[in-house]
Structure 1
């Protein structure tokens, strides 16, 4: 509930999270006072640019276009120029460190993989973006926070859910929810306004340091979705290093969090950034799969996540090395509760927080390292080292000692029984 006063927090607890009024169509924008500031989430894509165009056409005096840098390495200066050309005030917030430490690190601990298909991504970024939007809106005295997710995008309920659970009292939502506008109309109207730089885009994309994700457009049909190779960056053959044929990488975890990369202590966002290119150079970390919408329908999404690919495997190896089998089994159950709550837009809800508390208690023991041998398209462990291990390093010696201990206990019990009966 960042940015709320004490009375506002108390009111939130009494009345529940959804205190604001949802914007679900372009007609709903008529409820807003065009003289008051409006905050819009701005990616530089077609939908967010078109929303700025509509707000200008509707006579809004002060529109603030918020872009949040999450380390996706995407620099769209054309998008920022377009926002300013449409009369918006551009804001760019660097949130890479917060994203890594407050959202990706818990996701690694929770082994946040959607139904064994792919690691979650926008699930992690949307609550942070919502939090930053609320903070900016509070600073500006804005009464409305707008985004551009549509009904075929899971970001709709994640952004709305996060904004609602953070206790926002104003208007919020996406006018595309109940008012879809076809691509050609948006392109035509923007071109008439002097903006034609978006006409060549064939997919919808989202990028952060954890994932590059693509959907829609040429990827609409799950039954026919050959992915254009140019969409990939970290794992693109043309971008792979010539030395990537054979490589050793060692990853060290401390209390369930990646902390050391090949002997160098680094911040988490730097570890992820380096692994994206090093692991991706071996052609690892591509995912494609179906994810459900709020009504149960499924849509195709394609991801590039090399660092996530290796870090999640490393984390699981160290969990098996340090935790009991029963603890791992129960943790795996709670993980999917965590994923469900985060994915459904309830990152700031009590159930995800409770699941996180259990997961954090489990991973407090997960300290150690895994050494990997990476070659083209393959990764093999060559060393798993735990600080407090449960594994056996010499089976014969362990068996001998275990038998000796059991025999000693048996002999002691027999002697005690004889003394008691004497």
Structure 2
């Protein structure tokens, strides 16, 4: 009886090839499509393709709500952006894929968990670190890290030829060989012509979630987003679950050209990589969430969060989701987000997002104190600033006397 393996299967070029390659090695292949709300994919066709190739089983598991609620929204609450720009759409999903794959492996008695991530990329780290944290004894098969596999498929050209031989339909073509990764949070594009950082990436990509800013409507679209303790819960006053919030904002943001970026990032494995991303819904949520925090979170608390945010972004990017440090950080952010309740209205216009208005029952903004107009000085007497500044200036005056500066 053949050993079984579970393949994290997307139906794309790499994993389609892997089904046949694993069968050639004598394995029964159980293909697992983790439904993350991929906006441009036909799940039934993808599952059928796996069976047509010869997979022992081919199933989809819907984790769209879990991805948004338990993974994306906590990262949103951290305002975590890798290298100040990337919203981590791929990184966030990988630990969840590993979790579901291990559950499926337990169901079918698989001896190994297989993924199609390359030995040059970040995803191998995210898949494996998550899997080993959940099951320290797990066996991982990563064909791109095997000489045998790379000798058969030294590049995408050979993989495309293999698919043509086997009549396996894939999105990538010889003329447009860029790779994409999709979920409800974003779509990423890399490889092919995009590997030249001086090539304009936008015109050569068939974007799946956004129109170009130039083709977006000439009128601004407004949308009101409601939050409860830092969690998005409504759109224009209508209560929605986590996935529905993201899905609705993907449509509104995408129609207005919001959320495209083109970056060169530093991979965990040490190289620089060029990627183009579109994340319309999450771009809107980051803007709205930040605007509400500005009203509701104390200065020192938010500054501490902002100092830790790059650390969280790097941990998510590198694949350290299931670990003691992340557990502690998530407990901290849950407490910090308690007052972040209210509504924010955004204006979406030709790729831009602006805050139109914000309101909260927990607002710390006191117009009477902040106003430049004459007001009751019981809470803030401007005369008090004299002593405040004299105390703050003590070390500066001492330094100025001891080490005079030229001016």
Normalising by structure 1, we get a TM-score of 0.82
Which of 233, 252, 255 is the equivalent residue of 1:278?
A: 252
* Aligned counterpart, 2:41: 75
1:290 offset after TM fit, Å? 2.0
State the alpha-carbon separation in 1 of the partners of residues 73 and 341 from structure 2: 14
Inter-CA distance 87–371: structure 2 relative to 1 (3 Å threshold): same
1:183 offset after TM fit, Å? 1.4
1:37 offset after TM fit, Å? 1.2
State the alpha-carbon separation in 2 of the partners of residues 404 and 349 from structure 1: 45
Deviations 1:214-251 (A, max 9, x none): 11122112222433365213222599786x72222111
| Correspondence 1:133 to 2:101 | yes
Q: Which moved more, 1:145-154 or 1:164-173?
A: 164-173
| Correspondence 1:207 to 2:182 | yes
* Aligned counterpart, 1:16: none
* Aligned counterpart, 2:387: none
Which of 192, 197, 205 is the equivalent residue of 1:217?
A: 192
- Divergent runs of 4+, >6 A: 238-241
Inter-CA distance 398–357: structure 2 relative to 1 (3 Å threshold): farther
- 8 Å CA contact 1:160, 1:173 repeated in 2: no
- 8 Å CA contact 1:368, 1:386 repeated in 2: yes
Inter-CA distance 196–167: structure 2 relative to 1 (3 Å threshold): closer
- 8 Å CA contact 2:130, 2:322 repeated in 1: yes
State the alpha-carbon separation in 2 of the partners of residues 345 and 324 from structure 1: 30
Inter-CA distance 123–338: structure 2 relative to 1 (3 Å threshold): same
- 8 Å CA contact 2:226, 2:233 repeated in 1: yes
State the alpha-carbon separation in 2 of the partners of residues 372 and 171 from structure 1: 47
* Aligned counterpart, 1:174: 142
SS in 1 for 2:22: helix
State the alpha-carbon separation in 2 of the partners of residues 367 and 124 from structure 1: 24
Q: Which moved more, 1:191-200 or 1:133-142?
A: 191-200
Structure 2 unpaired stretches of 5+: 385-407
Deviations 1:317-344 (A, max 9, x none): 1111111211111001121221122221
1:162 offset after TM fit, Å? 0.4
- 8 Å CA contact 2:216, 2:350 repeated in 1: no
Deviations 1:276-322 (A, max 9, x none): 11122221111121222233211011111111111111111111111
- 8 Å CA contact 1:206, 1:212 repeated in 2: yes
Normalising by structure 2, we get a TM-score of 0.85
Inter-CA distance 290–178: structure 2 relative to 1 (3 Å threshold): farther
The 5 Å alignment of 1:376-415 reads 376-394=350-368, 395-396=370-371, 400-403=375-378, 406=381
| Correspondence 1:291 to 2:259 | no
- 8 Å CA contact 2:189, 2:276 repeated in 1: yes
The 5 Å alignment of 1:40-55 reads 40-55=7-22
* Aligned counterpart, 1:56: 23
Inter-CA distance 194–396: structure 2 relative to 1 (3 Å threshold): closer
How many residue pairs match? The answer is 374
State the alpha-carbon separation in 2 of the partners of residues 391 and 160 from structure 1: 46
- 8 Å CA contact 1:69, 1:93 repeated in 2: yes
Deviations 1:9-36 (A, max 9, x none): xxxxxxxxxxxxxxxxxxxxxxxxx712
Structure 1 unpaired stretches of 5+: 1-33, 410-422
SS in 1 for 2:377: helix
| Correspondence 1:86 to 2:53 | yes
State the alpha-carbon separation in 1 of the partners of residues 366 and 20 from structure 2: 65
Inter-CA distance 202–331: structure 2 relative to 1 (3 Å threshold): same
Deviations 1:19-60 (A, max 9, x none): xxxxxxxxxxxxxxx712110111111111111111122232
Deviations 1:246-290 (A, max 9, x none): 222111111001111111111111111111111222211111212
Inter-CA distance 37–199: structure 2 relative to 1 (3 Å threshold): same
